[in-house]
Structure 1
Amino acid sequence: MTQRRNFNLAGLAAGLILAAGPALSQGFPSKPVTLQVPFAPGGTTDIIGRVMSEPLGKALGQNVIVLNRAGGGGVVGAQELARATPDGHYIGVATVSTTAANPAINPKIPYDTINDFTPIMNIAATPNVIAVHPSFPAKDLKAFIAEVKKNPGKYSYASSGTGGIGHLQTELFKSLTGTFITHIPYRGAGPALNDTIGGQVPIIFDNLPSALPHILAGRLVALAVAAPARVAALPNVPTFKEAGLEPVNRMAYYGLIGPKGLPADVVSKIHAAASEALKDPAVRKRIEDTGSIVVGNSPSEFAAQIKTEFGVYKEVVAKQKLKLD
């Protein structure tokens, strides 16, 4: 009799445990949600995270608190996110640097970019631009390529750091054009931009939002943009696709991800809340004011995008024989 009672109790306990998973996810969110930004405050990633936090919280019915976890070009924050409890209460903003460029060049990255995260949505994408100091002898892309081909190793380019999108996108450009330009890595996009404007380095591949004011003021000359179409503010600057370099026509993305194992219904709730937030014209305008394009795709589409970007930059690293400095 005792044995039967123990067996029944064990069966009841097992049933309760099995039922707990769906019950927990159905109750999501049961407390405030942390939205981690893997970079310092002030950059495009942080701006988009903060723009989304309030309307996302409103749609979810809980506060969404932005938490900055900077370090290692986004690696510190991404690693922390990968280790978080997969219940939806700790999610993060993913970028090309954290999910593609850095993992492609750094074999010691402490996470698997494809298998350690659950993609939810690509919120927005930002064009990138290749620009030169006004003193550079070429003022358009065709003349630029001819100049650097004629003088291999003479010119250098600035980037936000080894493994960032500016670095690997320029290396992709170099591999397709057969050019050699020396890489000068900086500790952030700001210092790289400042030295290019100052003439210490003649070339930069940068995020358009930060470079645009200097281009419009004549402190930099834009040669080509990585965007689906010409940028309204730079109508005379072609896209890389127009220039016959379509593989370089890649934008930076800012998406929502969670740790691996995030329940499908939680993913669905967060995705629906983010979609609702992006319907607000004020939210869309604030995102577009950064120079970004609102995307709002599906979890499977974002997963495929991350996989594609990672593959592209892995190939660039192999072809260009790139290593961490």
Structure 2
Amino acid sequence: MCSDLQRRRLLQGAAAAAGLAATGWALAAEPWAGNTLRIVVPLAPGGSADAMCRLVGNALGRVLGTTVIVENKPGAGGVTGLAEVVKARPDGSTLGYSLAGALTVAPHIARHMPFDPLKDLAAVTQVVAVPEVLVVHPKTGVRSLGALVAKAKAAPGQLNFGSAGNATVPHLGGELLKREAGIDLVHVPYKGSGPALNDLLAGQVDLMVADVTLVRPHIAAGRLLALAVAGPARLAELPDVPTTAQAGLPGLAISNWHGMVAPAGTPPELLARLQQAVAEALKAPEVAARLDQEGADPVASTPAQFAAFLRGESARSAALVKALGIRWE
């Protein structure tokens, strides 16, 4: 049976499709021309999602012939902003740009989730895949993952790790580090990776599992130290940084990604056009150069591919959350 929200989405979707036909908008003729496309980033300014959305959004506006407005709506690890997208009209005028946490992690951690990402949001595309890196502030005095673990074991509960908020990938990464290394760290959640990075750079936070796109410039400048890449292979951008497996913690493996979603009930034709436009935007010279420089991989999957990916990621997150025993009030 359909919920009230799902029934409303179906009706709104039908109305949106009828409206497109009534106005004679042809999808191939750029239906957003002369209109505004609003993209909600459910995290604070200054983070990796915010920066990437604005970069891709500028190119997307050119592709669609429209003005793209990016709005930051932080809160609850990204859930607050996406809840606003869920309530928007499914006519292609409002989208959400989210990291993995709010879409596939939060439903398995939060005790009170205001929506079901797999039912109340429509997949548009996975935009990029982003490797995670374990970084520390130089004041910690450690230069390797082994040294960090030794220091944490010698002083339980004295080191802390920042995250973009509860139920985000950096949060999971920190909890996974605690379990795999057998150490006690204090979690400090923020309303986005930007504020968390600011406190990490200021030395108020000791360490963080973070998107390489967020921390690579600060690693290059010596403001942060990279201890390990939480993935299967070293990164070309950080050739001297070992993987977590090479550093002795093969179980510390986690990655992040950015995806674009729309309200459920958005006509499939609009979703397909948006995906095609994002794919084209990712090929823009300034976007491609920035992705290559910062270590993010463009994806631009179809709506069907991204929907299947979300289901798989949600299942994997559920298993990891259960194993870690994390709950969020």
For Structure 1 versus Structure 2, the TM-score category normalised by the shorter chain is: 0.7 to 0.9
CA distance in 1, matches of 2:250, 2:67: 38
Q: 1:257-305 CA deviation, whole Å, 9 max, x = no partner?
A: 1111222222221111222222333321134445422222222332233
CA distance in 1, matches of 2:37, 2:191: 31
Structure 1 counterpart of 2:282: 278
- Residues 34/156 of structure 1: CA separation in 2 closer, same or farther (3 Å cut): closer
CA distance in 2, matches of 1:261, 1:186: 32
- Residues 42/174 of structure 1: CA separation in 2 closer, same or farther (3 Å cut): closer
Structure 1 counterpart of 2:86: 82
* Contact 1:81–1:91 (Cα < 8 Å) also in 2: yes
Q: Does 1:48 align with 2:38?
A: no
Structure 1 counterpart of 2:123: 119
* Contact 2:42–2:80 (Cα < 8 Å) also in 1: yes
Corresponding letter in the other structure for 2:84: E
Q: Which of these residues, 58, 63, 66, is aligned with residue 63 of structure 1?
A: 66
Q: Which of these residues, 132, 137, 142, is aligned with residue 133 of structure 1?
A: 137
CA distance in 2, matches of 1:191, 1:56: 27
* Contact 2:229–2:244 (Cα < 8 Å) also in 1: yes
* Contact 2:46–2:194 (Cα < 8 Å) also in 1: no
Q: State the identity %.
A: 35
Task: Compute the TM-score of the two structures, normalised by the length of structure 1.
Answer: 0.80
Corresponding letter in the other structure for 1:65: V
| Mean CA deviation greater in 186-195 or 279-288 | 186-195
Corresponding letter in the other structure for 2:297: I
Structure 1 counterpart of 2:208: 204
Structure 2 counterpart of 1:249: 253
Corresponding letter in the other structure for 2:187: H
Task: Compute the TM-score of the two structures, normalised by the length of structure 2.
Answer: 0.79
CA distance in 2, matches of 1:98, 1:32: 25
How far is 1:238 from its partner?
A: 1.7
How far is 1:63 from its partner?
A: 0.3
CA distance in 2, matches of 1:191, 1:35: 21
CA distance in 2, matches of 1:67, 1:133: 31
Q: Does 1:268 align with 2:272?
A: yes
Structure 2 counterpart of 1:320: 324
Q: Does 1:20 align with 2:18?
A: yes
Q: Does 1:185 align with 2:189?
A: yes
1:115 counterpart SS class: helix
- Residues 247/124 of structure 1: CA separation in 2 closer, same or farther (3 Å cut): farther
CA distance in 2, matches of 1:21, 1:244: 58
Q: Does 1:107 align with 2:105?
A: no
2:118 counterpart SS class: coil
Q: Does 1:35 align with 2:39?
A: yes
1:103 counterpart SS class: helix
> What are the ranges of 5 or more consecutive residues in structure 1 without an aligned counterpart?
1-15
Structure 2 counterpart of 1:235: 239
* Contact 1:288–1:294 (Cα < 8 Å) also in 2: no
* Contact 2:44–2:191 (Cα < 8 Å) also in 1: no
Q: 1:104-135 CA deviation, whole Å, 9 max, x = no partner?
A: 32122211011111111111122222122334
Q: Does 1:158 align with 2:162?
A: yes
- Residues 92/194 of structure 1: CA separation in 2 closer, same or farther (3 Å cut): closer
Corresponding letter in the other structure for 1:20: A
> What are the ranges of 5 or more consecutive residues in structure 2 without an aligned counterpart?
1-13
Bigger radius of gyration among the two: 1
Corresponding letter in the other structure for 1:70: K
CA distance in 2, matches of 1:193, 1:210: 8
How many residues get paired?
309
- Residues 158/284 of structure 1: CA separation in 2 closer, same or farther (3 Å cut): same
CA distance in 1, matches of 2:284, 2:122: 25
* Contact 2:136–2:224 (Cα < 8 Å) also in 1: yes
Corresponding letter in the other structure for 2:18: A
- Residues 210/297 of structure 1: CA separation in 2 closer, same or farther (3 Å cut): same
| Mean CA deviation greater in 240-249 or 221-230 | 240-249
2:92 counterpart SS class: coil
Structure 1 counterpart of 2:299: 295
